[in-house]
Amino acid sequence: MTAAYDDRDGKIWMDGKLVDWRAANVHILSHALHYASSVFEGERCYSGKIFKSHEHSLRLIESARLLDMTSPYSAEEIDAAKDQVLAANGFTDAYVRAVMWRGSGQDMGVSARRNPVHLAIAAWEWGSYYGDAKWQGAKLDVAKWKRPSPETIPTAAKAAGLYMICTMSKHAAEEKGCSDALFMDWEGYVAEATGANIFFVKDGEVHTPQADRFLNGITRQTVIQMLRDKGITVHERRIKPEELSGFTECWLTGTAAEVTPVAEIGDWRFTVGDLTRGIAEDYEKLVRS
């Protein structure tokens, strides 16, 4: 059985120094715990190199800015800290988690301008996010919750608070024997899974929801460029749920998900076809190049 995440050996980078894994703690009155003032990044290291590390560091800083927090570190300093963590733990293939949050301070209410902003970075060995679905095709539920309007929260931020409906939806999906759940947005269009963007195939062309109302994933952007470089047409647009019956293939993208085929979404069925397998193989080659 895998050890609990708070009970492991190793080092975590925290506010400028490496600390013992079990000592990487925060106070119970940290603002983030009460008011969700926290942003994070999930990254993967392949053969000793974090894929698009600097892009992730820049997005972390931007996510903090969108939540009215100022990063205490530059992107270059964050890049270096991630490398320190990997070296200290002896990892060459690992998942890397950077998290920035408002801690405890002089304020303990909605307003927290006087509270310091902290940064921590951890890494651990982590295989396929969806297990066997990585090759066989994931089975998705359709979430009862919807992605919120950008007028309600900064949806371009990778913010902890945006993931609560993801946790509830994934729990509900797992109870039905599914790997994940598909969200619609507040207008009823197809949006994304709980922690991954989604793509569909029809007549040799690729369709994916327009990422102006949910996080435009770094893996998503990478895969779109890879497809276009291969001469494959990619449509970024609004997709209605009733269109899903006309798509033949489907896959998910994300740092954790990488490129994962989808076999089922509710009553809709898809094949793990050549285009899906091809882009998954090409992505695997890219991240290890």
Name residues whose C-beta falls within 8 Å of residue 277's C-beta, 6 or more positions apart in sequence: 261
| Residue pair 241/190 in contact by the 8 Å Cβ criterion | yes
- E strand residue ranges, the chain: 11-14, 17-20, 38-46, 49-50, 94-102, 117-124, 138-147, 180-185, 190-193, 197-202, 205-209, 234-237, 249-254, 258-265, 268-269
Which amino acids are annotated catalytic?
158
CA distances from 266 to 77, 140, 181 (A): 44, 6, 9
Of 126, 70, 118, 125, the C-alpha closest to 98 is: 118
| Residue pair 110/246 in contact by the 8 Å Cβ criterion | no
Of 234, 282, 241, 239, the C-alpha closest to 258 is: 282
Radius of gyration for the alpha carbons in the chain, expressed in angstroms and rounded: 19
Q: How far apart are CA 85 and CA 1, in angstroms?
A: 24
Write b or e for each residue in 157-188: b if 16 or more Cβ atoms lie within 10 A of its Cβ, otherwise e.
Answer: bbbbbbbebbeebbebbeeeebbbbbbbbeee
